[in-house]
Structure 1
Amino acid sequence: MRFNRIAVALALGLVSTMSVAADADQAIRNTLKAIDPTMAVEAIAESPMPGVYQVELAGGRQLYTSADGQFLLQGYLFQVKNGKPVNLTEAAESRGVVKLLDAIPASEMVVFAPKQPKTHITVFTDTDCGYCQKLHSEVPELNRLGVEVRYLAFPRQGLESEAAKELSNVWCAKNKQEAMNLAKTRQSVPDTQCDSPVAKQFALGQMIGVSGTPAIVLANGKIIPGYQPAPQLAKIALESK
């Protein structure tokens, strides 16, 4: 009988905990909806810090809130492990970025791959961008060092720009790699029509915080803004796989 009472108590405690979690989830969602009805909430869970909840937004962005949703915090949450600070927010955001990029079919990217890739980078690029052109000239060296380069489109001047049209021509070409080579060496790319993913990729870049090009995303989801020389970039990419 004593065992049964303990089992019942444990069960009631579990139900109570689940109820508290459900109440917190709803309270937080209500607050965020009142602030911005369009805010896309991916998940809500207790954070590693007791009493604080972690909200994952679209694109991997993170917010922190009290259980009643009345206190909100946007910023980095660190945990000290063995005397060293670990950025938990950055790690969570990177995992969110990886999840989004992994969902993109290879057919919607322009990929330059070595025979035996050791890791990969995803580059949000604009053909009308000097440093993007410089980075592209070093793609053979990146490939030689074992780094696969996956391109996504990011027309910096918007979807009505000439660069957006050229990016669409690249993505619609029968040979996307050849078309990218032409565009990055300031040669014209034949006009082509198709169901281009350029707008979708531009929106994705904005959602994860891309504001300029090239924006390089490592295999672990960390974003490096701006050009890096091939040897340095390959070293960073290989260390992050």
Structure 2
Amino acid sequence: MMFPLRRLAIIPLCLSLLACTASAADETPASVKAAFASKFPQHEVTSVQPAPVPGLYEVVVKMKRGGREEYTIVYADAKVEHLLTGDLIDTASHKSLTEARLDELNQVKFDFAALPFDKAIKEVRGKGERKLAVFSDPDCPFCKRLEQESLSKLDNVTIYTFLYPLAQLHPDAPRKAEQIWCSKDRTAAWTGVMRNGSKLPAGKASCATPLAELAKLGEQLGVEGTPALFFANGKMIAGAVPVETIEAAFKAK
């Protein structure tokens, strides 16, 4: 049996299931882990703890996704006779406890200072004291929105753009990325195309590009789509977020 890497559709907790999962005194997270391992030896369980719902246990399973490890959660009764996949919802706050826990488990950890900035397009605005790395695709409409509506409004910032063309979505993006990287002024070429609607630099790309290396780096960092923003304080945000969100991320600790 394989488990989804993220959540399935919301599944209500059945009272009949909960009624038959009251744990005995000798049932512990360790015994649940052992029972789970005996039934699903192909999965690596990293932790088991009581779930917020009496009678259920949260089982954290390590999975492989692309080039990085990722965790998923299933809920089990004490004897692992039943499994529940889906979101555990707090009805008071209307928030998914499962989603919050998965976000905690799968938080991308990276060393900002170790990023290969020599393989990025560098733009310095003002004093450039604040640092931001962005994985971006020249054919991605959300990347253009981020550039036009958010990044263009930042000041006192150094933006490192890592070209990350998603060929499966935008077949011509790798060619455009090569054109931009091989231009005489990469920063001007990038901002012109993404913010001002300028045409690509003329001529055929004729230089070595870091696209293959950046594809591996993005995979290691868990970049699944563009744009993806990485901050020097260890924060990562995905999507064309408003400038207020970026400013808040700069201030976060």
- Range of TM-score over shorter length: 0.5 to 0.7
String of CA shifts for 1:98-128, please: whole Å, max 9, x gaps: 21575962435445455322x74x5432112
Tell me how far 1:168 sits from its aligned partner.
4.3
User: Which of residues 98, 101, 126 in structure 1 aligns to 2:137?
Assistant: 126
Could you list the per-position Cα deviations for residues 41-66 of structure 1 after superposition, in whole angstroms to 9, with x for gaps in the alignment? 6x621245162211243454522243
SS in 2 for 1:132: helix
Is 1:192 equivalent to 2:207 in the alignment? Answer: yes
Counterpart Cα distance in 1 of 2:251 and 2:141: 27
Say if 2:122 and 2:159, in contact at 8 Å, map to a contact too.
yes
Task: Give per-residue Cα distances to partners, 1:164-199, cap 9 Å, x unaligned.
Answer: 133245557797545533553433274322453243
Q: Which structure shows the bigger proportion of residues in helix conformation? A: 1
Is 1:44–2:46 an aligned residue pair?
yes
- State the AA in 2 paired with 1:199: A
SS, match of residue 108 in structure 2 = helix
* 1:139-161 CA distance string (max 9 Å, x none): 3422x1x5654434442442993
Distance in structure 1 (CA, Å) of the matches to 2:135 and 2:186: 15
**Does 2:61 match 1:55?**
yes
1:153/1:167 contact within 8 Å kept: yes
> Could you list the per-position Cα deviations for residues 55-107 of structure 1 after superposition, in whole angstroms to 9, with x for gaps in the alignment?
24345452224377665544334569xx6457453354355342157596243
- Alpha-carbon distance change, 112 to 188 in structure 1, aligned in 2, over 3 angstroms: same
Match of 2:41 among 30, 43, 67: 30
Q: Equivalent residue for 1:93?
A: 103
**CA 1:110–1:99 in structure 2 vs 1: closer, same or farther (change >3 Å)?**
farther
TM-score by length of 2: 0.55
CA–CA distance in structure 2, aligned partners of residues 135 and 91 of structure 1: 28
Unaligned runs of 5+ in 1: 1-15, 33-40
Please tell me the residue identity of whatever aligns with 2:46: I
Distance 1:179 1:170 in 2: 6
1:162-181 alignment, distance < 5 Å: 162-168=172-178, 170=180, 177-178=187-188, 180-181=190-191
Give the 3-state SS of the residue equivalent to 2:61 in structure 1: strand
Offset of residue 222 of structure 1: 4.5
Structure 1 Cα separation of the partners of residues 72 and 113 of structure 2:
20
Aligned residue in 2 for 1:115: 128
**Which secondary structure does the structure 1 equivalent of 2:109 belong to?**
helix
What are the ranges of 5 or more consecutive residues in structure 2 without an aligned counterpart? 1-26
CA contact (8 A) 1:27 1:69 kept: no
- How many residues were matched structurally? 205
The two structures have a TM-score, normalised by structure 1, of 0.57
Q: Secondary structure at the residue paired with 1:45?
A: strand
C-alpha separation in 2, matches of 1:73 and 1:240: 35
* SS state at 2:144 partner: helix
After superposing the two structures, state which structure 1 stretch, 63-72 or 16-25, moved more: 16-25
